[in-house]
Amino acid sequence: MRIDKFLKVSRIIKRRTIANEAADNGRISVNGKVVKPSYEIKVGDIVEIKFGNNTSKFKITNIPKGQNCNSSDVIELL
């Protein structure tokens, strides 16, 4: 699953367009590398998202199958 879709489906970011913009602006990194919205996530990836002065960091523990899920089911906060 693409990182932009994952962030929307897991409700970490409200809309996919916002996730796209964040990735395009270099604010999303996976395993220490800045990624594009099309990056294919894997279980075990460590994602860091920067919005202003706030930074969220989490590990992907599961990839959702449907259109919506709880973020607590697919990530572990670091």
- Say yes or no to pLDDT of 22 above 90: yes
What is residue 52's predicted lDDT score, i.e. its pLDDT? 87
Residue 34 sits in a domain of what CATH number?
A: 3.10.290.10
At residue 64, φ and ψ (nearest 5 deg) are -65, 150
What is residue 65's predicted lDDT score, i.e. its pLDDT? 79
What is residue 19's predicted lDDT score, i.e. its pLDDT? 94
Q: What is the mean pLDDT of residues 15-26?
A: 94
If one counts the domains in the chain, the total is: 1
- Decide: 28 and 38 in contact? Cβ < 8 Å: no
Structure confidence by residue, pLDDT tens digits, 26-78: 999 999 999 999 999 999 999 999 988 999 999 999 888 766 666 666 778 87
What is residue 45's predicted lDDT score, i.e. its pLDDT? 95
Q: Which domain holds residue 39?
A: 3-77
